[in-house]
A = this chain, B = another copy of it.
Amino acid sequence: MPKEGSNPARMAGIRSVSRIFFWRYGFLLVGLGQFDAVVGDLAGNAARMRKTYEVALDSDADIVVFPELAVCGYPPEDLLHKGNFTQDNRLTVEKLAADCPEKTLIVGFAESYRGRTYNSAAVLEGGRISKVYRKNLLPNYGVFDERRYFAPGSEPVLVEVKGMRIALTICFDIWDTEWLGAFLKDAGEIGMILNISASPFYVGKIAKREEIIGRAARRLNCVVGYCNLVGGQDELVFDGRSMFADSSGRIVVKARAFDEDLLVADVAAGAGGRVRVRPVQPAAEQPADSLDEIYRALVLGTRDYARKNGFGRVLLGLSGGIDSSVTAAIAAAALGAENVVGVTMPSRFNSMETVGDSERLAKNLGVEFHTIPIEPMLKSFDRALSAVAGWDSGGIAYENLQARIRGCILMSLSNQSGALVLTTGNKSETAVGYSTLYGDTAGGFAVIKDVPKTVVYELAEYINRISGRAVIPPAVISRPPSAELRPGQKDSDSLPDYDLLDRILRGYVEEDSSADALIESGLPKDVVQRVIGMVDRNEYKRRLCPPGIKITPKAFGKDRRLPITNRYDGGSDTA
């Protein structure tokens, strides 16, 4: 067993390597150091890598691998246009090399070379940069804009460690197996491909990654060591789960999900030209299912957004509804209940039941709780607005006003206390604009913005299950959803059933299906057309919502870039 006293792994919060394992094998020990890089924090990221390196040294790893653009974080976006940025990247890598001379390191960084900028992997050996691999395939779709910044590399780069020849690749390079085979055709015998990645999470992505990594291993008949980033960065969460595939394409071992880790494995050539992988650590626990994945992504995304932006505390409105209840539970898990403040802001339209449920939820979670009735403000606005002809105290403007008063209260408390306001809108209502701009959308971070309403319900059940008790009161889950902005209001007055709505939205938003394709698939024509119209009309509102965590294949935000001014009706067939 490792010496626990001065164990650098333990100090760094990284899993240590049991010497029992690698004493038995120990041909080539490869460490994949997935860590939570902070965008722009070059010195801090280097310090994090040095810490992992110490653990790796203690584990006798021969080569230590860090993720894509580990030095500057991913994605650095237009920081790449700043005068000193690539120069600072290089200085940081050179210093890291000097600090870590004993082993071979692979480190992602943003590189200026002969007047162009590259997404590069530096090979650090003997205290200096010995080689640089430059990413060839630059993704420029979905959330990716790499051709805005980078020129493509063109040459393979191989490193030899303990007699094993290792080819370097960066993220998307490995997703096109045929291209990769052609690219490495003349590279000679390769024992392992290392891939450094910054692959953002969405539900189900891990299966795709495993498939392409296995396919590349089989195609090149070698081990693939895949080192992914971990952590939240604005809209994106990187889920880690670095892994090794052996030359048969089998995924042999995976690192932790949604957490830092150093995954060490023993790689060696076996019989018949095979290359095998042997884990030298106990297996890291993996998410049980997709709900577990989503929950962990939301917790990490919220924690990192707050932490990396200097917020210790968060603040949110608690309505006694499902969205704010789930958001509050995630916030408490992310930051500790003591750092969450819930505020209920009832009007005369809020029932005793929902107000009571918001308080019960706060008590169950153990978060600070305040009640600020909004009637006095509502009355004073109503009186003032009556001065303008046409003001209607029973109309939609009056409903929205209530949400805006609540937004004012939360933002005021945020300004006063320095806490970050979390908004509580889900993907379904964000899609159709069932929200008040500058009202319930007012805040700094939108935790469940990419979570469809039907999944919000599943998350509530999941949270109660893992808590071992009804943290979220059962009535919150069973009560028909309502914005409570007028007497007896129900979501179902304005929206189709959430089951149906979410099916239409999945097709239209996430899969870019046209109205006629959705109708042909059996969805009701009138509802499809109504929903699509709402989605299209509300692009302006979504633009003005805070960022939130991407958990689906296509989130609102930089994943889906539609013009606000847009008269396209989705296709000639339905015109």
Chain A interfacial positions (CB closer than 8 Å to B): 38-44, 72, 75-79, 81-85, 87-88, 91, 140-141, 145, 147-148, 232-234, 304-305, 308-309, 370-374, 376-377, 379-381, 383-385, 387-388, 390-392, 395-398, 400-401, 404-405, 407-409, 411-413, 415-417, 437-438, 442, 444, 512-514, 516-517, 540, 543-547, 560-573, 575
Contact = CB atoms under 8 A, between A and B. Distances in A.
A380 B382 CA distance: 12
A313 to B, nearest CB: 12
Contacts of A88: 571-572
A39 B563 CA distance: 8
Given A77-B562, A77-B563, A437-B442, 12 more contacts: A41-B568, A82-B571, A140-B140, A145-B148, A232-B565, A234-B563, A308-B567, A370-B388, A376-B380, A376-B384, A388-B413, A544-B546
A567 B442 contact: no
A440 to B, nearest CB: 11
A395 B418 CA distance: 13
B140 A84 contact: no
A85 B563 CA distance: 14
Contact of A513 (B83, B140, B377, B564): B83
Contacts of A304: 565
A15 to B, nearest CB: 26
B444 A540 contact: yes
Contacts of A41: 567-568
B42 A568 contact: yes
B512 A81 contact: yes
A82 B512 contact: yes
A553 to B, nearest CB: 13
Contacts of A385: 372, 409, 412-413, 416
Contact of A387 (B39, B79, B370, B540): B370
A377 B381 contact: yes
With a 10 A CB-CB cut-off, give which of A234, A304, A404, A543 has the most chain B CB atoms.
A404
Please name the 9 residue pairs, one residue from A and one from B, whose CB atoms are nearest each other, closest first. Answer: A40-B568, A84-B571, A397-B415, A41-B567, A83-B514, A397-B416, A376-B380, A40-B566, A40-B567
**Which of A81, A234, A562, A567 has the most chain B CB within a 10 Å cutoff?**
A567
A83 B376 contact: no
B390 A401 contact: no
A162 to B, nearest CB: 36
